[in-house]
Structure 1
Amino acid sequence: MNPVLSALAPVVVLVALGALVARLRWVGPASVKELSNLVFLVLTPALLFRTMSRVQVQDLDFRPVAAYFLAVLVIFAGTLLACGFSRRSAVLALATTFGNTVMIGTPLVALAWGEPGLVTLFTLYTVHTVVLLTSATLVLELAVMREAAAGGQARHPVATVLTALRNSLLHPVPLPIVAALLFAQTGWSLPPVVARPLELLAGAFTPMSLILVGLTLAATSWSVHWRGALALSAVKNLLHPLLVAAAGWLLGLSGVPLAVMVVVASLPIGANVFLFSQRYRVAEDLVTASVGLSTLLALGTVALVLSLAPLL
C-alpha cells in the first residue's frame, strides 16, 4: 500500500467512526464535552509523561529541529499579528503549526527512511509538544487575562503575566512534560505498576481524540466554515513545509534530516488543537472542520511533499 495512504487511512477511519456514532446518536452533544475533558485531563497527561520520561536531552541533535521551529515561529507569530491577540487567534496559530506527528508521522517516516529518519523524528518529538503546546497555553492564558481586564477585572501587568505563567505551568499539558523530563534525567525506570497503566492510557489517547473529532465534525456546519478550514489547511499542509525547506536551506541542512522535517511539517492538523479549542471554548466548529479537511487534503499534499523530499 502507498505509504501516505497507509499512514492516513486509520486517521480517516477513526474520524469517520466518530461521525457515524454521532449520526446514530449513540453519544449526545453533552457527552462530547465530558469525553473531551477525559481526554484532555487524563489521557493527554499520561501520553506526555510516558513519552517524555524516556528522553535524554543531551543525546539529541537539535540542528534539523531549528529549521522546523524557525518556520513555526514565523507562522505562529504571523497568525497572531493577522488575527489580533485573543484566545481565537492563539488556537488558530496552534492549528497552523501543530501537526499529527505521532499517529501519521511515525509510520510514514519509518516506511520512507527507516531508523535514521526515526532518530530525527524522535528528536523533534522531544521539543515539538513541549514548545508548541506550552507556548499556546501561555498565550491562551494571557489572552484570558486580557479579556478579563477588558471586562473590568483589571490587574497589574506583572501580576497578569505571573498569573498566566502559573496557569500555563500548572496545566494538564506542560506539567507532565516538565515532570517527565526531570524524571528522565535521574536515569530511573518507572515501576511496572505505574508504567503499565500509563501505557494503556497513552494508547487510548489517539483513537479517543480522533473519534471526538468525528463526533464534533458531525455537528459542524461545513457551509459556514469550509473557507476558513481550507485556509488553515493550506497554511499547515503546504506553507509550513515550504518555510521549513527554506529555513533548512538557509541553515545549510540537507539529506534525510531536512527531508524528515519538511515531510513532518506537511502533516495535517493534530487532534490536540481540537482539544485546546474545546478546553478554551473558542473556534470549536472551525477547528473541527479544519482537522477533518486538513486530514483529507493530506492524502494529496503529503504525497506531493514526500515525492519532492529526495530533492532536498
Structure 2
Amino acid sequence: MSGVVSGFTVIFIVVGIGYVLGRTRLLGDHAHEVLSRLVFFVCTPALLFYSLVTSDLSVIFSSTLVIAGGSALAIGLVYVVVARFWLRRAVPELVIGALSSSYVNSVNLGLPIAIFVLDDATFIAPLLLFQILIYSPIALLALDLTALDRGAHRSLWRDAVVTPLTNPIVIGGVTGLVVSLIGWIPPAPVLEPLKMLGNASVPGALLAFGLSLTGVTVFKKGESPRRDIALATALKMLVMPALVYVVARWGFGQTGHQLFAQVVIGALPSAQNVMVYATRYRRGQILARDTALITTLASIPAIAIISLVLA
C-alpha cells in the first residue's frame, strides 16, 4: 500500500504544480499547447529511443506483452464499436476515446507502481513496448489521416504509408528497437542528451496535464462529453482489469505474484499522453483530460483493492 501512495503522491504533486502555473499564468497564455508540443515532438521520442536501446528485449517479449497488449486492443475496439453505433462519434473522437479507455499510464505511474508495489520494473516493459510500437502508430496514423487537413490532390494510400514515417513518436520507437536488435549501443555523448530529454517527458506530460485543468470543471454540463467519458472510464477501470484477470488466469495459467502484477497493470489509469495527442490534433481534448483525471483518482482504490485480494 505504501508503494501505491508513493506513486500517486509524486503524480499529484507535479500535476498540482502545473495547475498552479496555469492559474498564475506564469508561463503565458499558450503554455499548455507549447509544452504539449515539446513533449510530443522532442521529449517522448527521445525517451522511447533511449528506453529501447538500453532495455533487455528478452524480458520485453514475454506473455505480459500478449496479455496486456491484447487486452488493451480488445478494450479499445469495444469502445470504438459502442461509441460509433451508440454515440455516433467521428473517427478522431473514437480514436481519442479508445486510447482513453485502454492506453495505460505505463511510464508516469506504471514505473513507480512496478517498482514500489510489484518490486520489479520489468513487469511494465512489455506493455510500454506494445504501446510504443503497435498501439501508438495505429492510433496516430488514424488521427493523421482523419484529423489533419489534407489537400484534395493527396492520395489516402500514400498518406497511409508516409505518415507513420514522419511521426516523431513512431520514429523514436522504431529507431530505438532497430538499434537494440542489432546490438549496437550508441556512445555516451549521444545517449546522454537523449536521456536528458527523455527524462523531461514524464514531468512535461504531467505539467501539461495540470495546465489543462486550469479554469475547467470535470463533467461540466454542455461542454463535457459525459457519456463518452463514462464509457471510457468504465471500460478502463472495471472491464480491462477483469479481462486481464480472465486472460492471465485461464488463458495463460498464471497465479500468485504474476497474476497480481498483470491485474495491477490493467488497473493503471489512462495515460496523460492521450491528452498530449488530443491537443496535438485538436480533437477530443476534454474527453482525454477528464478521463485521465477520473481514472487516476479511481485507480487509487482500485489498486488498493487488488492488492488486498491478490497480493
TM-aligned CA distance change 1:61 to 1:50, over 3 Å: closer
1:211-290 superposed matches below 5 A? 211-222=207-218, 223-224=220-221, 225=224, 227=226, 228-255=228-255, 256-290=257-291
**Cα offset for 1:119?**
3.1
**Cα offset for 1:18?**
1.0
Identify the residue that residue 87 of structure 2 maps to in structure 1.
none
Identify the residue that residue 123 of structure 1 maps to in structure 2.
126
Check the 8 A contact 1:79/1:93 in 2, yes or no.
yes
In 1: Cα distance, 2:3 partner to 2:72 partner: 26
In 1: Cα distance, 2:58 partner to 2:117 partner: 27
1:4-19 superposed matches below 5 A? 4-19=4-19
Q: Which runs of 4+ in 1 moved over 3 A?
A: 55-61, 226-231
Task: Quote the sequence identity (%).
Answer: 24
Deviations 1:65-114 (A, max 9, x none): 21222222221112222223511110110111111112322222223332
In 1: Cα distance, 2:59 partner to 2:290 partner: 39
When the two chains are superposed, the root-mean-square deviation of aligned CA atoms in Å is: 2.3
- Where structure 2 has 5 or more consecutive residues not aligned to the other structure, the ranges are 85-89
In 2: Cα distance, 1:59 partner to 1:21 partner: 40
2:138 is aligned with what amino acid? S
TM-aligned CA distance change 1:154 to 1:62, over 3 Å: farther
Check the 8 A contact 1:14/1:210 in 2, yes or no.
yes
Identify the residue that residue 113 of structure 1 maps to in structure 2.
118
1:220 is aligned with what amino acid? V
Check the 8 A contact 2:236/2:270 in 1, yes or no.
yes
Name the stretch that deviates more: 43-52 or 186-195. Answer: 186-195
In 2: Cα distance, 1:266 partner to 1:187 partner: 34
Check the 8 A contact 1:70/1:247 in 2, yes or no.
no
Correspondent of 2:194 among 179, 184, 198: 198
Q: Which has the higher helix share?
A: 1
In 2: Cα distance, 1:174 partner to 1:308 partner: 38
TM-score, normalising length from structure 1? 0.88
Per the alignment, in what secondary structure is the counterpart of residue 127 of structure 1? helix
TM-score, normalising length from structure 2? 0.88
1:139 is aligned with what amino acid? A
TM-aligned CA distance change 1:91 to 1:154, over 3 Å: farther
Per the alignment, in what secondary structure is the counterpart of residue 211 of structure 2? helix
- Where structure 1 has 5 or more consecutive residues not aligned to the other structure, the ranges are none
TM-aligned CA distance change 1:31 to 1:103, over 3 Å: closer
